[in-house]
């Protein structure tokens, strides 16, 4: 009897957890911003984790990463954002290409700061 009662409790909890659709909160994605010393890869992972948690984005499909790419561009650090906005055509929606450009800007930021100080 006790075992059946425990099993029944598990079923009720399972039903409560999975019966109600998860609430979507797209604004959470726009709250994630890239810190000055945060690498683009870490920032993208934070965005993906937030997307999995608060939205219904299927990151494995073709169209969904394009939505994430636009948010990635908009929420990136200012110097990276400027460079990403210059991308055109397919590159402007390709998350992998954007990540490569963002890494390049991130890795060269110290050189750019030194050049500004010299001027």
Average pLDDT of every residue of the chain? 87
Answer whether residue 1 is part of any domain: no
How many domains does the structure of the chain reveal? Answer: 1
Answer whether residue 29 is part of any domain: yes
CA distances for 55 relative to 46, 49, 68, 76, angstroms: 13, 10, 11, 20
Answer whether residue 77 is part of any domain: yes
pTM for the model stands at 0.73
Residue-level pLDDT at 90: 81
**Per-residue model confidence as pLDDT tens digits over 99-112:** 999 999 999 987 87
Domain encompassing residue 110: 24-118
Q: With 90 as the cut, is the pLDDT of residue 64 above it?
A: no
**Per-residue model confidence as pLDDT tens digits over 76-104:** 999 999 999 998 888 788 888 999 999 99
Answer whether residue 56 is part of any domain: yes
32 closest CA partner among 92, 75, 70: 75
């Amino acid at each position: 009897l006790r075992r059946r009662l425990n099993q029944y409790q598990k079923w009720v909890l399972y039903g409560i957890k999975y019966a109600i659709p998860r609430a979507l909160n797209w604004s959470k994605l726009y709250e994630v911003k890239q810190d000055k010393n945060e690498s683009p890869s870490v920032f993208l992972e934070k965005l993906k984790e937030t997307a999995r948690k608060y939205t219904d984005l299927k990151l494995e499909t073709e169209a969904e990463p394009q939505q994430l790419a636009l948010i990635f561009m908009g929420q990136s650090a200012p110097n990276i954002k400027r460079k990403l906005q210059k991308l055109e055509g397919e590159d402007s929606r390709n998350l992998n290409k954007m990540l490569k450009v963002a890494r390049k800007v991130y890795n060269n930021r110290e050189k750019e700061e030194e050049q500004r100080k010299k001027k």
